[in-house]
Structure 1
Amino acid sequence: MSVGMSRAADPVDPGWAEFGRLLRFHRRRAGLTQLQLGSRVGYHHTFISRLEGGLREPPYDLVNRLDAVLGTGGRLAALVASPPASPCAPGLPPASPTLFAPIPGTDAPGDPASLTAQPWPVRLPAEGLACPLHGRVGCATPDREAVTDLLAGLTGPYDRVGDTAGAEAELLHGLTAVLACLIRETSGRATDAGAGTVERLLRGVVRWAEADNAAGRLPYGQLRLAAQYAQVAGRLRMERGQSGVAMAWFGHGLRWADAAQDAEARATLLSDMSTLVRLDGDPASMLVYAQAIGAVDVRRRWMVMLSGLYQARAYALSHDVAACRRHLSTARRRFARLDDRDRLEAPWLSGAEGVLRVESAVGGALRDLSVVTGDRAVARRAVEATARSYALLPPVMRSTRLLLTLRLADSWACAGDPVAAVTLAGPVLDEALGARELTVADELRGLHRRLAGRWRDLPEVREYRERVRAVSE
């Protein structure tokens, strides 16, 4: 069957056909292409095309963003039929039919959610996680023992989820503290147990939010917390190479962040989605997600700066040298101009940690650019940026240290110094080959290709390749 015949066979709901016609009218009136509109609302342009063709039901949270971006005065939302009537708290739109759609995994009722032994945070924010109810005002967290009792109502028999309403703030504070501990525990070692605990608690939070929503209570805090948990769950799955489940968690997190109007969570989730499609070898989709980061809120400089860094790497992979260099230069200037509000909303971009993250991103983009251009001068700039990032790494970030070691070695290979590359990679080779992290495996594959492609007969490279074979066997 041809592609054209397949599309012709798709059913067109008359209601969605009318929505598609109105969407197309306002998009054209705004002077936007489907690609441009998709990047601004965080969806691929092919999805926008199917919406305009009446072939897909629009998610409710997307309709609101389309109205805002296109300046329709709410006409698209007015056209969309609301979900079945149920009491709904003021300030939150009626729940989209997909807001509480089936999520990955299942639980056995009564299975305990064991708490991590990591040091317990006394106050929020912790590990960059703000209170889902009160932001960054400095909320106190309940004792670890008290949280253990509260979790019994969240992850125990499902009909007890609603009993947590009276202790909402206490439970939300406790669950945020638990997630901070889990982030520390899984940093550099994405274990099955850690991922399982994150996802089990996340499913409990979603059940709680759904129950409150059905009862007419506003599940604002639960949805914000669910978005935070979904991001961590997605990252853990991504690091283990489970791209499909990772993208599912990121997608759910994005919907929950939208429903709770959490722009910060939306921007960071789009960043992770951009990374995931890059690892899957899709620079075009990476660029779409990267552009969507900056479109979340153009007034927030850290979001626009972050968007530029991700766009630079997407352009490097797409062989657009001029665009890559332009975005790197602009991103570095914007990073230098971040203000107190930016650092409050994105504390991981403050101080040495911020420099570490930016220089790591710059080094990755420059290394990718040197691969596609063969420009050794660009590769030497990648060495400099990656070395600056590496020098700022705290000892506990073992996985990041391994990743940057391999990237630095690969940058030296691209710069024409294979001996420096194998000298750097040699001491960590066994650890890298045994690592489960997808990002580490991606860096290692690139280094192998560079060494084997041009210097395979060099004695040092032959010895390195023999070690790889020996360990792999």
Structure 2
Amino acid sequence: MSVGTSQSVVRGWAEFGRRLRFHRRRAGLTQLQLGRRVGYHHSFISRLEGGLREPPFDLVDRLDAVLETGGQLAAALVARPPSPSGPGPRLTAPTLFAPIPGAPVPGPPTAGAPVPGADPPGEAALLAAGPWSAQPWPARLPAEGLACPLHGRVGCATPDRGAVPDLLNALTGPFGRTGEPGGAEAELLHALTAVLACLIRAAFVRATGACATTVERLLRGVARWADAVNATGRLPHGQLRLAAQYAQVAGRLRMERGQSGVAMAWFGHGLRWADAARDAEARATLLSDMATLVRLDGDAASMLGYAQAIGAVDARRRWMATLADLYQARAHALGHDAAACRRHISTARRRFARLDDRDRLEAPWLCGAEGVLRIESAIGGALRDLAVVTQDRAVARRAIEATARSYVLLPPVMHSARLLLTLRLADSWACAGDPVAAVTLAQPVLAEAVGARESLITAELRGLHERLARYGGELPEVREYRERLRSVSE
């Protein structure tokens, strides 16, 4: 982006912010009220009004509709340039296709230089032999909860595994004369969705740096492809939906490794792409991950904002409302509001019991035994957090019950989740006044938990250590546990 273009973009943001403030006040809404209506935290609305942030593509339309401006907010942004191939529509949010984490710096290619955004020669071969290749290949979509970015959940067939290396090469290598990867669009989108499903499964068993690297390499290719499609005047909805899915997985893998800054960057890009593609499901799940990330920083206010934004995505979808209640319960626990925490736990359980066919279709991971596992795990976490701040042993015992219900439903392959819930169960016992039971649970998995070096597990381990020091520091069993922890940490 040139200096002149950059300045015009910033001026567009400032004008947008001035008009947004005028129309919000005219409507008699506070920033908090407007944020809840459009599904964003009030602090983000404040930054928009100050001209400090780029208005996300899909948010502008929602603001115009909510505030009944007649399209004045959209008109305040930088004008849409004509398509190079004709009058077709283009996505023109200033940073929709901006450089993403780990991507090469864009610039005009020189003779013999690699195409900007393309992976170096040989990358496709590395990707073809990546961690996804050891996993069972899904014959149809959806797989691992991932629907086809073009056709939803109708049951699209995936290409043969043997065709995948050539497809990856088309994505990560130089694009052809059309400015896009060669081959059929649907076939490549189906293949990339299936590869991501395999990578999720591989990371599920044992998260590795190779999984994160592969996800991000492919994501750079998908984002470059979306940009190329957009430049032709054709809206890249399928590519953007796929990019949002990849960004969510990339952010989760970074979050597990404790790299919160890069994780939030990926979630932010994913949210922007989901907005542009009008993908409500991706928006809700990305906001859930963002709420988890700020929880790790102990930021109860931001977590509550993200949790409320989940419920504002679409109030008609009960699974989204259930998620919103679960995250609000945990945010209120961190904020020491016991009554609000209990209220949202009760509401989440009622909503979960009333999920309908549409919810089961859109969020199969929140249904059946897996749904019970997720619900009780989240409730156990909220109750444990509440027990920590209130020192109420009755609440701690309820946390034990909820966590134990989720633990027994864990599949054997979910090693990381088993470690996390074991430590949470131990911590809940410590909060309930039984540090010996806590140590007995934690000792067998201590070395594995320390070696995992995953942020969620590390947070649970740190909390357990603090509670043991508070409630049983002089007990011989606790002293032995601390010595063991020191020895495995060296």
Q: TM-score range by the shorter chain?
A: over 0.9
Question: Cα deviations across residues 381-426 of structure 1 (Å, max 9, x unaligned)?
Answer: 0000000000100101110011000000000111111111011111
Equivalent of residue 301 in structure 1, options 318, 329, 335: 318
Q: Residues 112-139 of structure 1, C-alpha deviation per residue, up to 9 Å, x if partnerless?
A: 2224210000000000000000000000
For 1:39 and 1:275, the matched residues in 2 are separated by: 19
Query: Structure 1 residue 133 and structure 2 residue 150: aligned?
Result: yes
User: What corresponds to 1:203 in structure 2?
Assistant: 220
Q: C-alpha distance in 2, partners of 1:67/1:404? A: 44
Provide the rounded CA distance (Å) in 2 between the counterparts of 1:435 and 1:158: 39
Please state if 1:25 is matched with 2:22.
Answer: yes
Q: 1:409 to 1:280 in 2, by over 3 A?
A: same
- Give the distance between the partners of 1:239 and 1:210, measured in 2 at CA: 29
Q: By how many angstroms is 1:13 displaced?
A: 6.5
More displaced stretch, 263-272 vs 189-198: 189-198
Partner SS for 1:157? coil
Letter in 2 for 1:375: D
Which amino acid in the other structure matches residue 279 of structure 2?
D
Indicate the residue corresponding to 1:157 in structure 2.
Answer: 174
Match of 1:75 among 62, 72, 77: 72
RMSD: 2.1
Q: Is the 8 A contact 1:418 1:451 kept in 2?
A: yes
Identity of aligned residues (%): 80
Point out where structure 1 has 5 or more consecutive residues left out of the alignment: 1-10
Letter in 1 for 2:226: A
3-state secondary structure, aligned to 2:134: coil
TM-score of the superposition, structure 1-length normalised? Answer: 0.93
Distance 2:341 2:66 in 1: 26
Structure 1 counterpart of 2:63: 66
Match of 1:179 in 2: 196
Aligned to 1:167: 184
CA distance in 2, matches of 1:461, 1:329: 35
- TM-score, normalised with respect to structure 2: 0.90
Does structure 1 residue 342 correspond to structure 2 residue 359? Answer: yes
Q: Which structure 2 residues correspond to residues 258-277 of structure 1 after superposition, within 5 A?
A: 258-277=275-294
Label 1:90 to 1:137 Cα distance change in 2 as closer, same or farther (>3 A): farther
CA contact (8 A) 2:430 2:471 kept: no
| 8 Å CA contact 2:57, 2:275 repeated in 1 | no
Q: SS of the residue aligned with 2:460? A: helix
- Whether the aligned pair in 1 keeps the contact of 2:325 and 2:348 (CA below 8 Å) is yes
Mapped contact 1:19–1:76 kept (Cα < 8 A): yes
Q: Which amino acid aligns with 2:96?
A: L
State the AA in 2 paired with 1:79: A
Q: Deviations over 1:331-364 (max 9, x none)?
A: 1100000000001000101100000000000000
Q: Distance in 2 between matches of 1:145 and 1:302?
A: 37
Of 73-82 and 135-144, more deviation after overlay is shown by 73-82
Q: Does 1:425 align with 2:422?
A: no
Write the distance in 1 (CA, Å) between the matches of 2:407 and 2:343: 24
Q: Which of 95, 99, 122 matches 1:98?
A: 95
Report if aligned partners of 2:148, 2:156 keep a CA contact under 8 Å in 1: yes
Aligned length: 463
Of the candidates 305, 312, 319, which is equivalent to residue 288 of structure 1? 305
Alignment partners' CA distance in 2, 1:427 and 1:56 = 48
1:232 to 249, 253, 256: 249
CA apart distance, 1:163:
4.5
Q: Which residue of 1 aligns with 2:258?
A: 241
Contact 1:88 1:213 in 2 (8 A): no
* Pair 1:232–1:90, CA change in 2 (3 A): farther
The alpha carbon displacement at 1:31 in A equals 3.7
3-state SS of the aligned residue for 1:179?
A: helix
**Cα deviation code 1:141-195 (max 9, x no counterpart):** 0001112111111112356783436410000001100000000001142211111
- From the superposition, tell whether residues 67 and 90 of structure 1 become closer, same or farther in structure 2 (CA, over 3 Å): farther
User: Are residues 1:375 and 2:392 paired?
Assistant: yes
> How do residues 356-371 of structure 1 correspond to structure 2 at under 5 angstroms?
356-371=373-388
State the distance in 2 between where 1:81 and 1:382 align.
Answer: 52
* Larger mean Cα displacement after TM superposition, 258-267 or 87-96: 87-96
The CA distance in 2 between the partners of 1:151 and 1:216, in whole Å, is 24
Which residue pairs with 2:484 in the alignment?
A: 467
Bigger drift between 186-195 and 41-50 goes to 41-50
C-alpha distance in structure 1 between counterparts of 2:141 and 2:216, whole Å: 21
Task: State the match for 2:468 in structure 1.
Answer: 451
Distance 1:91 1:461 in 2: 68
Cα distance in structure 2, aligned partners of 1:164 and 1:407: 47
5+ residue gaps, structure 2, are: 1-7, 104-118
Q: Aligned partners of 1:45, 1:91: CA distance in 2, in Å?
A: 35
Q: Tell me, yes or no, if structure 1 residue 52 matches structure 2 residue 49.
A: yes
Which position in structure 1 is the counterpart of 2:116?
none
- Distance of aligned partners of 1:377 and 1:143 in 2 relative to their CA distance in 1, 3 Å threshold: same
Counterpart AA for 1:468: L
CA separation of 1:369 and 1:350: change in aligned 2, threshold 3 A: same
Structure 1 stretch displaced more, 158-167 or 211-220: 158-167
CA shift in 2, pair 1:398/1:258, >3 Å: same
Q: Is the 8 A contact 1:12 1:55 kept in 2?
A: no
Matched, 1:111 2:123: yes
CA offset at residue 280 of structure 1? 1.7
* Paired AA for residue 95 in structure 1: T
Give 2:339's match in structure 1, choosing from 312, 322, 331: 322
Shift of 1:86: 1.8
Distance 1:168 1:12 in 2: 32
State the SS of the aligned residue for 2:426.
helix
Q: What's the secondary structure of 1:434's corresponding residue?
A: helix
Letter in 2 for 1:416: G
2:160 maps to 1:143: yes
CA 1:68–1:166 in structure 2 vs 1: closer, same or farther (change >3 Å)? farther
CA distance in structure 2 between the partners assigned to 1:13 and 1:223 by the alignment? 25
Specify the SS of the correspondent of 1:187. Answer: helix
Offset of residue 471 of structure 1: 1.2
Distance 1:327 1:213 in 2: 42
Cα distance change on mapping 1:160 and 1:280 into 2, 3 Å: farther
Residue-by-residue CA offset, 1:288-312 (whole Å, 9 max, x unaligned):
1111000001111110110010011
> Which region of structure 1 is more displaced relative to structure 2, 88-97 or 308-317?
88-97
C-alpha separation in 1, matches of 2:69 and 2:159: 45
CA distance in 1, matches of 2:147, 2:141: 6
**Equivalent residue for 1:35?**
32
Q: Which residue of 2 aligns with 1:192?
A: 209
